[in-house]
Structure 1
Amino acid sequence: MADKARQKGSWVLSVFNNRSPTIMLTLYKSMVRSLLEYCCPLWDPHKVSDIQSLFKNMQLEGVQRAFTARIAGCQDLDYWERLKKLSLMSLQRRRERYILLHMWKIANGSVSNDVEIEFVSRPRTGIKALVPPLRAGVTAFHQSLYDNSFAVKGPRLWNCIPASINEIKEFSTYKRQLTSLLQKIPDKPPVRGYTTSNSNSLLEWRKDPTLLEVWGGQDI
């Protein structure tokens, strides 16, 4: 998948000479990024090593990193700076966003709840998703599978979003408000050559005490 996206990106760069942000981003979003995101809530990689280097040199984040480096005015910026300048989310952040959008659809009955996620409504914390229990004494391998399955990661991501957003009943409004929130949270994906303070997951940034106001002032 990453290889196919890289090939498409190379084709775009060879056919179109215009390197302006508007043209380049339109081509990238419509022809390249879509190849990297199809059905991503299902296969979303959770290990930093997978995000950095999936299947040897097929770097998921590296595809976007390489393409944005060719955009006019971005050549001298590092990848994190380019994301900010171009108002782009990392592919990692967008995958978590897609998981949250699918969680909203499950909670509101727009799609089938195949993994039987349960939701509870509480006066103080709003609508929360229940994280299924895991029996004690399992191996580290099965613990990893559990922690990063959609049935577990989906509820955990959902529960870290403020109740004021999760309680929205209109999808386009929820999508807009969620995107607005995510744009306020640092987006520093793990890529080769960059030192990160955490995995860049929303679950990690939710614990950052300097971002309490962004999350609505509610500690977790």
Structure 2
Amino acid sequence: MGGINLAVTSEEKDLGVLIDDKLVFDKHITGIVNKANRTLGMIRRGFACLDKEIFMNLYPVMVRPLLEYCVQVWSPYRQDLINLIEGVQMRATRMVPALKNKTYEERLDALGLTTLIERRYRGDMIQTYKMLTKKEDTDPTKFFQMARERGDPSLFHGFKIFKKRANRKQRRNSFSIRVANPWNRLKRKEVQALKTSGFKSNLDKNEIDRRRARRERDGRLYIHLYHQTV
């Protein structure tokens, strides 16, 4: 390029995301988990008494963003990486002495948090909504192909995505393909919200019901890995 030979590399960092030549993002995820754990250590050393209020002022601002920056690009689908990321929040919630002997699910309920798995799902749905409704300066046709809907129109929500076929795991779990099934299962009133704030509100209200159903079915809050269904 410009008379200069370009070096061959197996990985490159772009806008803070470490992208490798196989698109597996192992090193990126390991890096952000290590950084998040170091930040947790700093919080532990800096606060002798960490109650719920202090924790909720620190964790969502200093730790969780490290695990969610540009997550639509590198969202994990392998169980070992999913567990690695979720483990950070598990350790973090045990830092509150009053919750130390409770289960992970009980700690999340007491703090008003959800699992990071559920937050990634929510983030994917919000990003899809913004792109399809052109609330962001992004051409949705570069990411999605809309599906032809047949049958009873009352069952449609008007923004069904056609799920493209993919042979490789990396492609099947890329953003534009992994969101197809969960997005298509959303209710009409969720998808057809006029504003992003309304979509978030409707999504959260219906997610409470979906979470309750999953608890009754699975017995664990964090068992639902929507990546495995797409």
Q: Same fold (TM over 0.5)?
A: yes
CA displacement 1:26-79 (0-9 Å, x = unmatched): 100010111111011111101222212xxxxxx211111001011132111111
1:91 CA drift (Å)? 0.7
Instruction: Quote the RMSD (CA, aligned, Å).
Output: 2.6
Matching residue of 2:192 = 167
Partners of 1:197 and 1:87 in 2: CA distance? 13
Q: 1:196 to 1:43 in 2, by over 3 A?
A: same
Correspondence 1:19-30 to 2 at 5 A: 19-30=50-61
Find out whether 1:200 has 2:185 as its counterpart: no
1:114 CA drift (Å)? 6.4
Find out whether 1:134 has 2:161 as its counterpart: no
Letter paired with 1:168: A
Kept in 1: contact 2:77–2:227 (CA 8 A): no
**Unmatched runs of 5 consecutive residues or more in structure 1:** 53-58, 188-194, 206-220
Partners of 1:43 and 1:101 in 2: CA distance? 16
Find out whether 1:116 has 2:140 as its counterpart: no
Find out whether 1:107 has 2:138 as its counterpart: no
Structure 2 residue corresponding to 1:17, chosen from 25, 48, 53: 48
Correspondence 1:54-203 to 2 at 5 A: 59-111=84-136, 112=138, 113=140, 115-119=142-146, 122-134=153-165, 138=167, 142=168, 144-186=169-211, 199-202=223-226
The TM-score with structure 2 as length reference comes to 0.72
Q: 1:186 to 1:204 in 2, by over 3 A?
A: farther
CA displacement 1:83-109 (0-9 Å, x = unmatched): 122221111110111100100001110
Bigger radius of gyration: 2
Partners of 1:151 and 1:75 in 2: CA distance? 39
Q: Percent identity?
A: 22
Letter paired with 1:95: R
Q: 1:114 to 1:125 in 2, by over 3 A?
A: closer
CA displacement 1:148-195 (0-9 Å, x = unmatched): 1211112222112111111101111111221222233338xxxxxxx9
Q: 1:62 to 1:27 in 2, by over 3 A?
A: same
Kept in 1: contact 2:105–2:221 (CA 8 A): no
Matching residue of 1:42 = 73
Q: 1:161 to 1:84 in 2, by over 3 A?
A: same
Partners of 1:114 and 1:15 in 2: CA distance? 48
> Relative to structure 2, which stretch is displaced further, 177-186 or 67-76?
177-186
Aligned to 1:96, what secondary structure does the other structure show?
helix
Partners of 2:199 and 2:156 in 1: CA distance? 17
The TM-score with structure 1 as length reference comes to 0.75
CA displacement 1:127-155 (0-9 Å, x = unmatched): 233234327xx4xxx1x233312111122
Judging by fraction of residues, say which structure has more helix: 2
Kept in 2: contact 1:68–1:74 (CA 8 A): yes
Divergent runs of 4+, >4 A:
195-199, 202-205
Partners of 2:208 and 2:33 in 1: CA distance? 25
**Unmatched runs of 5 consecutive residues or more in structure 2:** 1-31, 213-218
Aligned pair count reads 186
Partners of 2:88 and 2:141 in 1: CA distance? 32
Partners of 1:132 and 1:204 in 2: CA distance? 14
Matching residue of 1:218 = none
Kept in 2: contact 1:129–1:156 (CA 8 A): no
